[in-house]
Structure 1
Amino acid sequence: MKFSESWLREWINPEISSETLAEQLTMAGLEVDDIEKVAGDFSGVVVGKVVECMQHPNADKLRVTKVDIGKSELLDIVCGAPNCRQGLTVACATVGAILPGDFKIKAAKLRGEPSEGMLCSYSELGISDDHNGIIELPDDAPLGMDIREYLNLNDVIIDISVTPNRSDCFGIIGIARDISAVNNIVMKELKVDNVPATITNILPIEVNAPKAAPRYLGRVIKNINVNATTPLWMKEKLRRGGIRSIDAVVDITNYVLLELGHPMHAFDLDQIEKGIIVRYAKENEKLVLLNGNEVKLNDKTLVIADHQKILALAGIMGGEKSGVTQSTKDVFLESAFFNPLAIIGKAREYGLHTDASHRYERGVDPALQFAAMERASQLLIEICGGEVGPIIDVTNQNELPTQATIELHRNKIDRIIGYQIETQKISDILNRLGCQVEYNNNVWIVKSPSWRFDLQIEEDLVEEIARIYGYNNIPNANLKIESVMKPKPENKISLRRIKDLLVDRGYQEAVTYSFVDPKIQQILHPEQAEITLPNPISSEMSVMRLSLWSGLLDAVLYNQNRQQTRIRLFETGLRFIPDEKCEFGVRQELMLSGIVSGNLYEEHWGLPKKNVDFYDLKGDIELILSLLGCADNVLFKKSQLSTLHPGQSAVIYLNGELIGYFGVLHPEIEKKLSLNSKTLVFEINLAKISEKKIPVAQDLSKYPSNKRDIAIIVSNTVPAADIISECKKAGGEQLVKVNLFDVYQGENIKQDQKSLAISLILQDKSRTLEEEDITNIVSKCVIALQNRFKALLRE
């Protein structure tokens, strides 16, 4: 937001320097990004009037003039500007004047004619880039007056950053309110006289979208002179606010925009058929905008229309056909409150960004529409003439925002600020901010002003109190923290421990967006419903992730495209599952996900090159689950997840509950995503592995262990994990470990079968096992496998 300091001081004029003013703005939350002079450094330039203008006898493009600067003698000045003419009031640099760039004006002869000065353009004085002609001043400008004084060129332009919650500061009046509150001085009151109707002409207004447009005002103004010249003072304020002068009508609406922070729009009345209708567009309706671009609209776009066509994008930009032109005589003036939710994101959706949309997206004062209408009407009549009709007001009071009433407690203020501000001072600050305040027994009942819809809770008011009181006025104090050391529960597994383990295994942590590409997510989870964002950043980030795999796969593609041959990434974050039983219809689950691709090891002369496989990833997962201290309760089963390879994937169960998946990405998905090597993924619900079994110390057996190996033949469909589980169940406590050490398929084994070699480790804590005991345990295991899996003992 750019504005001139002098304009601000018309509203509030504290006795402080420009530098102090800038510091106050910054400390009040309106950070000053830049301060620049409105003109270059020059001197000796005064107001003059061209009393004679003749063609130069020796040059076609030059003119010889006589200029009156309020002295007894006229100045002979040669000028080459195309707009130089008799009767024009100009900026005249006299002999001895110094212009920007240390350019000194001297008396000289130009093509044989004497020249005792120079008629200046805006660019030559460093005011703007306009060099199309010399400056044209009003006829009543006092001759001989220093141009710096006349145009107030000792002013500066202040550029501030306005945070999204302070849209009230997109107008001079809002900034003045803050400076008034900070300095505790009264600002100029906003007084806008009602412009009485002189004609009865009206235009019917119909609002078919009251939630999107709770208040819509319109007024007919007839017989205006659209070609009237915008006053120089208005042009200068607009220029210093970063807005280019276009024509009187547009300049007036832009002036109100900068002064009050309220967007307005003027339509050519002759281009409106029968009346105004505020509605949502029909799908694929088209509109040619003021910038000449044609847009195809969707049915979620609010528009201003008549009974035949769309006239404008509500709160964004007008249409070309209904815009004010040089032939316009009658206008329809609009002043409306549009709900920010109806405008937000729409300008960006159509490739636009306008001053109006920037303000409406953040919200405008819902009580300002009448004042803005009267102010614009007043300026139009003064500058362009015309006859004013009555204001037509269509307001749905139930849909307008209400002013929040907040209960503010003294102890809350003291606790957050850490310093006790006097009660009367707090009440005074709240009143200065425009709030309605009642105080009783250390509690303030505060009603926020209409322009401060960001004040909704106690903390908002505490922030305002500290801001206006001045952060620099709050003394430094040693922090007093009443804290109690709480022992960390022994059975809790910290997320840091899991992350450290993965880093030790060669993984790197990634952080990806929660918003993902719907095309990639549809490939990974074709059967799952997803949450679509109403106003996405882009089409590639328009849905909430169902798993963390979408972002990690995008990261793998990025790295593979940069010739990375070993990729090991993990991420922790939320996934978002549609669930009507949960708050807002969304179930959020904290997940641990990982992805590996390429080489198993970093390139090394002593290690063979080997690509990562299913069992390498399984080993990493088993290491994570080993932190739980209950390996016997973990079970891996074949996965049916369509995202993963049907023969190289598994589901993870803990205590009979599904906690995650892992495996090789399905080849079809790898192909669709253009992955150039086998990619493996895993995902575990962190809430399911947050607690571990507390280890209990046990005596080591002093008796020897015994090992027996058996080989069995079973069907290919029998998981090895089920074999191991059955052996442990049959062997009892004396079977202390079961290990699968070989799998064989080939000669002498049927095609639909496999041979599993298993070692059984047997040991007793109270005695040495006899051979008979060992044989008995082994036999129990074999019989159990035969009964459940029809296993054959291999000789």
Structure 2
Amino acid sequence: MKFSEQWLREWVKPALATQALADQLSLAGLEVDEISAVAGQFDGVVVAEIIAAEQHPDADKLQVCQVSDGQETFQVVCGAANARAGLKTAFARVGANLPGDFRIKRAKLRGVESMGMLCAEDELGISDDHGGIMELAADAPLGIDLRDYLNLNDSLIDVDLTPNRGDCLSIAGLAREVGVLNQVPVNPVTITTVAPTCADTFPVTLSAPQACPRYIGRVIRNINLDAQTPLWMQEKLRRSGIRSIDPVVDVTNYVLLELGQPMHAFDLNQLSQGIDVRLAQAGETLVLLDETEVTLNADTLLITDANGPLAMAGIMGGAASGVTAETRDIFLESAFFNPLSIVGRARNYGLHTDSSHRFERGVDWQLQRQAIERATALLLDIVGGEPGPVTEAVSAADLPETPVVRLRDARVNAMLAMEMPLETVEDILTRLGMQLSRREDQAWDVTVPSWRFDITLEVDLIEEIARVYGYDNLPVRTPIAQLPMPPIAEKEVSLSRVRRHLISRDYQEAVTYSFIEAGLSALFDPKTQPLALANPISAEMAVMRTSVWPGLIKAVQYNQNRQQLRIRLFETGQRFLPQAEGGLLQENVIAGVITGNRDAEGWVAGKDKVDFFDIKGDVESLLALGGSPAEFRFVASEHPALHPGQCARVERQGEVIGYVGALHPQLLKQLDLNGPVYLFELQQDAVTAGRLPRYAALSKFPEMRRDLSLLVDEQVSYDAIREVVTAAAGDALKKVTLFDLYQGQGIEAGRKSLALGLTWQHPSRTLTDEEINNSVSAVVVALTTHCGASLRE
């Protein structure tokens, strides 16, 4: 919000210079973005009147004007199209200094002597307007210095308010803050009730009371729109960035800036039967004041009459019912709109207005009657007229409640790290407009004023105390806290260790969004209906992910599009699984993806692509961190996102904990990926749960090894063979190694040859050949019985 420093000082007079005032506001949370002068640096410019204006004898676009400053008459050559006899304007005498270090000298223009210069606003640094020389009021006193006449020794302060401080979007709100910060009185304008001089009213109906619980209106007849807005009001509006339009619009804008209450004036003769505040209906349209036509959404709050929409409530009025030069009777409105009914509506139509900016942040819900009385008094002074009685439609049940917040002495002192005197607390809160009632339990009941929508909790009050007291006045103390070392379970593998392990295997950690596109979720997990967000950021982030894979695949897609072909990513995060009985299961998982060459580029590196066994090996090494790799099994399976022939489910003691495999070829094509791509996703708890380490002495006795070459059906897995061998070989079996796999010439179709190395070692004695031979025989019998194996000759 941009405001005039002089206007603020009419309300409150702190003993501070401009920069000190700006610094104080910034430290109090009202950040000042810029301080600028109302006008450029100039002198020697006075109010003058053009007595006569004639065509220049040698130039079509120049006029020779006779200009009087009340004492002398000067001849001035001027090129402005609006220069005319009887106009009062800004006159720079010979010797005057204008912005840019431009000095006015006696000159000749096309052979005609010019004794000064008639100035446009941009030439004096007042605005960017260069449409002609300045046009001043007809009653402007001749010869007076223009800086004094327009009161240009002023500064503009631009405050960037946070959304919670809508109460400071007015001179009244800013003055209240400055008064509190400096402990000086605030002198608000006197608002008196204007007595009606006619009995005319216009009925109002609230069809949407939750959105508009209070609507106040007043009829004013026989106004004179030929009257001019006073110079002081025009200047205050201009310095706040608002252009003067006509007296009625200027007054509503002035009250908006002064008190913070947006208002609107309708041409009474364009209204039919009565005002109805309601939501839009399907297909309704409205031509706005800026002449654009909009098709209204069903959630848009409207001001309507019997003929249809008149205005978008709290945003912008309609052109058909707006005040024009022919208007003689007006209906003045002052309403309170619930912020939730206005927020976001202007953006839906590509609009942003001073009214919507304030209503979205919250307007004082008890301010409407004061505003309409203030606007009425100003209008009567400027355009005259006959006011009717104030009409108020209100739904008391839908008005905001006045919050009462309990504030404890101990809580204040604990959060501010000091013993704050009770008198200081009461003084600060009282000057902020709050009412305090002392309790018996060393606390206050604080009634929050209607203009502070942002105070609902005890911490909000403490923040206000700290802000006004001054953050730089609070003590600086080193916090003292007891920080006991948390126990680390020996059976648990820390997540940081898991991350380090994957990084050591050439993975990079990724962090992807928990929100994904609904269509992408269906590709990876078509059987699960994900939780949809009520208010998604975009269509690409509309549902909660049921798997981490979609985010990782999008990351792969992003990298491949930028010529990064060797990719290894992992992520630890949550997936969100809706439950049949209701609710949402948030499950921690560890997921990864690999694609591209097996080895990084190098002069000794191969060109082989990664395959299923690369990612299976990564997963096996990850599962071995807990010290119980034998508890895990990989079982051929199916998953809708994985290749039917390259997919395995991972089990721990019979419980499925995840999947590993190649991305389905159809998904590769749909997502336009360079394949193959391999994925895994595991439950985090199953990976990090380990076993308690136990000491065991190393055996000093020799190992005994026997090799077996077996023929089995190609459907028989090595895991099944390993389990049978382990069960049959006895307790001394130390290791089973698969060191060869062969299919081809010499092997029957549908069969495969496996070569196993079996190693025995006893902890306390040397094993005999007889014991080993018996164990080998038992293993062969078991493999023949359970796996259909035979020894290869």
Normalized against structure 1, the TM-score is what? Answer: 0.90
CA distance in 1, matches of 2:285, 2:256: 27
CA distance in 1, matches of 2:20, 2:677: 60
Q: Does 1:210 align with 2:209?
A: yes
1:184 is matched with 183
Q: Once structures 1 and 2 are overlaid, which stretch shifts more, 477-486 or 135-144? A: 477-486
Could you tell me which runs of 5 or more consecutive residues in structure 1 were left unpaired when the two chains were aligned: none
- 1:91 positional shift: 1.6
CA distance in 2, matches of 1:728, 1:221: 100
- 1:129 positional shift: 0.7
Q: Once structures 1 and 2 are overlaid, which stretch shifts more, 430-439 or 589-598? A: 589-598
1:144 is matched with 143
- 1:566 positional shift: 1.8
Distance 1:394 1:706, change over 3 A: farther
CA distance in 1, matches of 2:712, 2:59: 109
CA distance in 1, matches of 2:379, 2:784: 99
CA displacement 1:35-65 (0-9 Å, x = unmatched): 1112111111122233333443443333333
Equivalences for residues 773-788 of structure 1 within 5 A: 773-778=771-776
Q: Once structures 1 and 2 are overlaid, which stretch shifts more, 130-139 or 317-326? A: 317-326
Q: Does 1:697 align with 2:699?
A: no
Paired residue type of 1:608: G
Paired residue type of 1:455: I
- 1:736 positional shift: 3.6
Paired residue type of 2:516: V
1:317 is matched with 316
CA distance in 2, matches of 1:294, 1:715: 77
Distance 1:125 1:578, change over 3 A: farther
CA displacement 1:550-578 (0-9 Å, x = unmatched): 43333322222221122223334444444
SS in 1 for 2:277: strand
- 1:255 positional shift: 2.8
Paired residue type of 2:678: L
- 1:134 positional shift: 1.5
1:502 is matched with 502
CA distance in 2, matches of 1:385, 1:787: 112
CA distance in 1, matches of 2:686, 2:389: 68
CA distance in 1, matches of 2:723, 2:319: 77
Contact 1:39 1:127 in 2 (8 A): yes
2:412 is matched with 413
1:67 is matched with 67
Contact 2:213 2:337 in 1 (8 A): yes
- 1:271 positional shift: 4.8
Q: Does 1:132 align with 2:141?
A: no
SS in 2 for 1:664: strand
Contact 1:404 1:453 in 2 (8 A): no
Q: Once structures 1 and 2 are overlaid, which stretch shifts more, 129-138 or 72-81? A: 72-81
SS in 1 for 2:216: strand
Tell which structure's C-alpha radius of gyration is larger: 2
1:115 is matched with 114
Paired residue type of 2:674: N
1:768 is matched with 766
1:155 is matched with 154
What's the RMSD between the two structures over aligned residues?
A: 3.3
Contact 2:622 2:687 in 1 (8 A): no
CA distance in 1, matches of 2:346, 2:423: 45
Contact 1:65 1:76 in 2 (8 A): yes
Distance 1:319 1:97, change over 3 A: same
CA distance in 1, matches of 2:57, 2:638: 96
1:38 is matched with 38
Distance 1:475 1:194, change over 3 A: same
Distance 1:483 1:261, change over 3 A: same
1:467 is matched with 467
CA distance in 2, matches of 1:253, 1:337: 15
Equivalences for residues 606-617 of structure 1 within 5 A: 606-617=604-615
Q: Does 1:662 align with 2:660?
A: yes
CA distance in 1, matches of 2:349, 2:266: 21
Contact 1:637 1:719 in 2 (8 A): no
Distance 1:98 1:739, change over 3 A: same
Distance 1:101 1:579, change over 3 A: farther
CA distance in 2, matches of 1:370, 1:793: 102
CA distance in 2, matches of 1:580, 1:428: 57
CA distance in 1, matches of 2:571, 2:283: 41
Q: Does 1:633 align with 2:631?
A: yes
Contact 1:345 1:535 in 2 (8 A): no
- 1:468 positional shift: 0.8
Equivalences for residues 641-656 of structure 1 within 5 A: 641-656=639-654
- 1:329 positional shift: 4.3
Paired residue type of 1:262: Q
CA distance in 2, matches of 1:146, 1:365: 41
1:451 is matched with 451
Distance 1:82 1:48, change over 3 A: same
CA distance in 2, matches of 1:528, 1:435: 53
Paired residue type of 1:429: I
SS in 1 for 2:229: coil
1:624 is matched with 622
Contact 1:4 1:157 in 2 (8 A): yes
Contact 2:417 2:475 in 1 (8 A): no
SS in 1 for 2:126: coil
Distance 1:727 1:11, change over 3 A: farther
CA displacement 1:143-193 (0-9 Å, x = unmatched): 222222222222122122211222222222222222222111221236433
Q: Once structures 1 and 2 are overlaid, which stretch shifts more, 416-425 or 250-259? A: 250-259
Paired residue type of 2:164: N
CA displacement 1:373-392 (0-9 Å, x = unmatched): 33334434444444444444
SS in 2 for 1:93: strand
Q: Does 1:601 align with 2:599?
A: yes
Paired residue type of 1:15: A
2:552 is matched with 552
Equivalences for residues 672-711 of structure 1 within 5 A: 672-710=670-708
CA displacement 1:657-707 (0-9 Å, x = unmatched): 444333322222222222233333333443554543332222223333344
- 1:227 positional shift: 5.9
Distance 1:386 1:776, change over 3 A: farther
Paired residue type of 2:618: D
CA distance in 2, matches of 1:790, 1:262: 90
Paired residue type of 2:604: G
Contact 2:172 2:188 in 1 (8 A): no
SS in 2 for 1:47: strand
CA displacement 1:462-516 (0-9 Å, x = unmatched): 2211111111112333443344344444444433333323332223333334443
2:5 is matched with 5
Tell me the percent identity: 51
Paired residue type of 2:691: K
Distance 1:733 1:385, change over 3 A: farther
SS in 2 for 1:627: helix
Paired residue type of 2:44: G
Paired residue type of 1:355: D
Distance 1:613 1:321, change over 3 A: farther
Equivalences for residues 747-758 of structure 1 within 5 A: 757-758=755-756
CA distance in 2, matches of 1:791, 1:208: 84
CA distance in 2, matches of 1:247, 1:752: 96
Contact 1:517 1:539 in 2 (8 A): yes
Q: Does 1:367 align with 2:384?
A: no
Distance 1:253 1:614, change over 3 A: farther
Contact 2:66 2:74 in 1 (8 A): yes
- 1:6 positional shift: 1.7
SS in 1 for 2:234: helix
Q: Once structures 1 and 2 are overlaid, which stretch shifts more, 237-246 or 20-29? A: 237-246
CA displacement 1:255-313 (0-9 Å, x = unmatched): 33333333333444455454444343345554444444444444344444444544444
Paired residue type of 2:435: Q
CA distance in 2, matches of 1:181, 1:761: 86
Q: What is the aligned length?
A: 792
1:171 is matched with 170
Equivalences for residues 478-493 of structure 1 within 5 A: 478-493=478-493
2:521 is matched with 521
- 1:408 positional shift: 2.2
Distance 1:352 1:782, change over 3 A: farther
Distance 1:566 1:265, change over 3 A: farther
Q: Does 1:239 align with 2:238?
A: yes
- 1:15 positional shift: 0.7
Contact 1:580 1:586 in 2 (8 A): no
SS in 1 for 2:215: strand
